[in-house]
Structure 1
Amino acid sequence: MVTDRYGNRLYECTAEGAAHLDRAVEALLFFRSELGTAAADAVSAAPASPLAQAFAAYLGVLGTEPRDAVKARRRFADFSAGLDHSALPRRERVHMAAARACLAGDLRRAGRYLEELVVQCPRDPLALAVGHQLDFLTGDALRLRDRIGGALPAWDTDDPHRGPLMGMYAFGLEESGHYGRAREVALAAVEQNPRDVWAIHAVAHVHEMEGRFAEGIDYLDARLDDWASGNLLTVHNWWHYALYALEAEATATATRIYDAVLHHEGSAGLAMELLDAASLLWRFLLADLDQSARWQALADAWAAREDPPFYAFNDVHAVMAYSGAGRFDVAEKLIADRRRWLAEDGTRPETNHLMTGEVGLPVCEALVAYARGDYASAVDLLWPVRRRLHIAGGSHAQRDAVQRTLLEAALRARRDDLARLLVGERAGLRPDSPYNWLSQARVADSLGEAGRAAVARHTAGELAASAASRLSRASHHPYITGSRPAGSG
């Protein structure tokens, strides 16, 4: 029986299939663009391998693309039909069960299967990496942290693939609020593998959550050649850079990033990229910065997908796009469709069912209300769910677009007590954020505290200027100047 590079035995797998599986796992760990090709090669070389088939099934779900999931479900069903599951070794049997749960939409159950597997197989990088992504998709910060942290002692410090696991652990630490430790672990991971884009991404999240935008700009600029092109996180990490630019009040830089990377005529229309685009434009909308043409193009891209109910986090960002473009009829049609789906499938165990019912729908309704200028309704819809937004998936940084919507709505609805409380929460966590200081100034204005407002605006200006002074290298990068080579990702 052949084994993978980690010493795990592979059932019904050829040597060629094992080599492709190793390549696919490495691509998954490092977010390399060859991931899909490598996994497909593994299935072609070893079609009887349950692990290769499970890997392909995972990829059909992790991208949150409904059409990919449908294809993966069909392939997996064909393979499973003639398989004696009871004869499988435990590792393959659990991976098959986890893949089946993924394809059935029960992401949390799939994550639990993989968590149980890692107890006996802590050196199963596929179980760790897929489980980590499932924790991210379901917004489970504690599992995002502990799934990897518990397995790390089984990996020698000189193992070349311990580094990307450290990057995953760093992200889990950050999402759990352990910012200092997260930075330490992520920097160590990048030291081991300079092109570990998930670890670089973890550092970006730490700077975002601490409000240290000038330092974040410095860090991403210093490592620009390692993350800015040719990987599966290219768009998302540029999104982080654009967030820094917005805090620095460098809107021109943020829009150049949007046009060059986040959404343009050559964009693939993938959900993971479209939601970054919607999230950035929504922050422009909250700041009353007109982006009409960009909104229309983005709304067209979302509409072209015609997504069925699949992942509430995507639905939220589709509604952002429709509302930003003023297409309230389309947004309301999506909301009504999801309501019908909940009513028709009320007993389903799907993860997305919970996500949509508890968080997705009220957030979507609040976004429509906000874009229509009904700020009081937006507050009433968001206030009850503000501490449960993680149920719909994503990261703190991504969900902050919704948290900012609540704050902006409270300010505009003159819900001064709520606005003061929300600003206090934000400022306590991110005392160096220009946005938070400007929000403090607006609250002070509402309360008639002119002196306090003036001090807050001055502080915001100084912090923004400090961050803006760092924006240098990125503006000359080929991705921003429009001279990137074809196919560079």
Structure 2
Amino acid sequence: MKDVNAAGAAGRDRHGLETTGGGADTEAGEHYAHAVDSLLFFRGDVADAVEAMREAAPRAPLAHAFAAYLGLLGTEADQAAVARERFARFRESVDQSGFTARERAHLQAASVWLAGDIERAGTLLRELSVSWPRDALALAVGHQIDFFTGNAASLRDRIAGALSAWDEDDPHYGPLLGMFAFGLEESGHYARAEQVGLAAVARNARDVWGIHAVVHALEMQGRFAEGIGYLDARREHWGAGNMMAVHNWWHYALYALEAGDTGRALQIYDATLHHAGSEGLALELLDASALLWRLLLDGPTTAGAVGGRWEALADAWAARDDGPHYAFNDTHAVMAYLGAGRMREAEALVADRAEWAARPHPGVTNHTMTAQVGLPVCRALIAFAQERYGHTVDLLAPQRNRLQTFGGSHAQRDAVQRTLIEAALRAGRYELARTLLSERLNLRPSSPYNWLGQARLADELGQAALAATARDRAAALAAPGMSALNG
């Protein structure tokens, strides 16, 4: 029987929005405020705070919508399944007519996402933010959806469209700036992204998403030595004790690779990215795969330095036994299997996803991601591992300008872009390699990696003087980064 009146008294949250289940001065309201704050600052107690709110107000709709979002934000299939079941029980037990329009909108967005339509959920939350721009939960969750779907314009504009409704003295205005900075960076506005990101961190030194936005902006400009210095100066604020620590350490490792310090990158890998105590979370395994794959692409010397790390990482992916939940994760699982020489497991994953994708799944965003991008990328990775480099090029070249449609950031997707460059060089597709390297050099002329690629191409074309000049340029650019690492 429907329970119509068990949600609790109405009130307003700390941002002045009407809520069912109690206002900011109630126990449930206090838990909700704490949960939102923890979500914005990526603190690990967010789930506990949401659960405490559900216990204090078992029928509060925002508690259940929030819990559903948390079950989805980690891209963990098992967590999503649990969230789907719990949310369905809640929806069955209540009459929504007593909820506010905003709360019903959250319930609809959560329901749609739990059903697999992440893009529609993002649209619903964007519409919610038009009517209630001070809903921090809607903005934060919508921002992450934009990231998962690679929607750079919405990643930027969702937050930009709400900012003017906020008081700049609000403690949550800073995290919004951090989100806006990341959206600016993914949209190519690097100088503005850096400026806004720095302003966010100036407001709160532990704004790890704001730090992350600055790190991205510096990386995309090839300013890796400055990035090392920026992270070193703030390590106590981002390096541990938050849900972004592993990912920001991954960025530090990328800076180390750009500086030419493979050893430092692997030290970071062992200490933070993947080790015996790692929890095996998808988003962390993804970073581990992306780092090791870059080393594999860089040739036998760096690939050999990886040692047994691939095997342990492949074991961690295999232990998850994921189904078709998020194509971006699938590609990184395939990287791990291939790096460990476990071709059968890579091919089995692809066969499973191909069989799934061949059936209709209306309204499931991951179906489109898998069929249109995930499978071609996975097959290209397999072809690369089989040394069928021309086939790798044939599969990846049509995808290179649409990779954003299966999620991630420019920095994360660069592992796939580098695979295309390396395959083009090894396949003798020199005109394509020249074009790709020319693009990178003109966009990021301060990148040693790009100049080393130019040297490789010159070697293949018998242009020894040009190759030597490019290597000298790479070494000169790498030196400040190495100094920063050793400083």
Secondary structure of the equivalent of 2:164? helix
1:135 is matched with 146
Assess, with a 3 A threshold, how the Cα gap between structure 1 residues 73 and 13 changes in structure 2: closer, same or farther: farther
Secondary structure of the equivalent of 1:2? strand
Give the superposition deviation at 1:451. 1.7
Are 2:19 and 2:100, in contact at CA under 8 Å, matched by a contact in 1? no
Give the superposition deviation at 1:448. 2.4
Q: Which residue among 379, 386, 397 is the counterpart of 2:411?
A: 397
Moved more, 58-67 or 445-454: 445-454
Secondary structure of the equivalent of 1:10? strand
Q: Deviations over 1:29-78 (max 9, x none)?
A: 00011111111111111110011100000000110000000000000000
Q: Deviations over 1:415-436 (max 9, x none)?
A: 0000000001111111100000
Aligned length: 472
Spell out the pairing of 1:108-257 with structure 2 (5 A cutoff): 108-257=119-268
Are 2:159 and 2:176, in contact at CA under 8 Å, matched by a contact in 1? yes
Q: Which residue among 84, 93, 98 is the counterpart of 1:82?
A: 93
Residue 470 (structure 1) aligned with residue 474 (structure 2): no
Q: Which amino acid aligns with 1:436?
A: N
Q: Deviations over 1:263-298 (max 9, x none)?
A: 000000000000000000000100122224000000
2:431 is matched with 417
| Stretches of 4+ aligned residues off by more than 6 angstroms | none
Residue 348 (structure 1) aligned with residue 362 (structure 2): yes
How many angstroms apart in 2 are the aligned matches of 1:325 and 1:471? 29
2:453 is matched with 439
How many angstroms apart in 2 are the aligned matches of 1:183 and 1:70? 38
1:461 is matched with 475
2:3 is matched with none
Give the superposition deviation at 1:157. 1.4
Secondary structure of the equivalent of 2:358? helix
1:483 is matched with none
Are 1:12 and 1:49, in contact at CA under 8 Å, matched by a contact in 2? yes
Are 1:316 and 1:364, in contact at CA under 8 Å, matched by a contact in 2? yes
Moved more, 166-175 or 14-23: 14-23
Q: What TM-score does the superposition give when structure 2 sets the normalisation length?
A: 0.96
How many angstroms apart in 2 are the aligned matches of 1:92 and 1:5? 16
Are 1:366 and 1:378, in contact at CA under 8 Å, matched by a contact in 2? yes
- Structure 2 residues without counterparts, runs of 5 or longer: 1-9
1:295 is matched with 310
Give the superposition deviation at 1:106. 0.6
Moved more, 258-267 or 14-23: 14-23
- Structure 1 residues without counterparts, runs of 5 or longer: 474-489
1:476 is matched with none
1:318 is matched with 333
Secondary structure of the equivalent of 2:59? coil
How many angstroms apart in 1 are the aligned matches of 2:147 and 2:56? 31
Q: Which amino acid aligns with 1:137?
A: F
Give the superposition deviation at 1:472. 3.7
2:373 is matched with 359
Give the superposition deviation at 1:208. 1.1
Q: Which amino acid aligns with 1:317?
A: H
1:3 is matched with 12
Q: Which amino acid aligns with 2:371?
A: G
How many angstroms apart in 2 are the aligned matches of 1:226 and 1:215? 17
Q: Deviations over 1:222-254 (max 9, x none)?
A: 111111010000000000000000011111100
Residue 381 (structure 1) aligned with residue 365 (structure 2): no
Spell out the pairing of 1:253-264 with structure 2 (5 A cutoff): 253-264=264-275
Are 2:18 and 2:100, in contact at CA under 8 Å, matched by a contact in 1? no
Q: Deviations over 1:196-245 (max 9, x none)?
A: 00000001101111111111111111111111010000000000000000
How many angstroms apart in 1 are the aligned matches of 2:408 and 2:97? 36
Give the superposition deviation at 1:308. 0.7
Moved more, 379-388 or 368-377: 368-377
Residue 52 (structure 1) aligned with residue 56 (structure 2): no
How many angstroms apart in 1 are the aligned matches of 2:117 and 2:55? 27
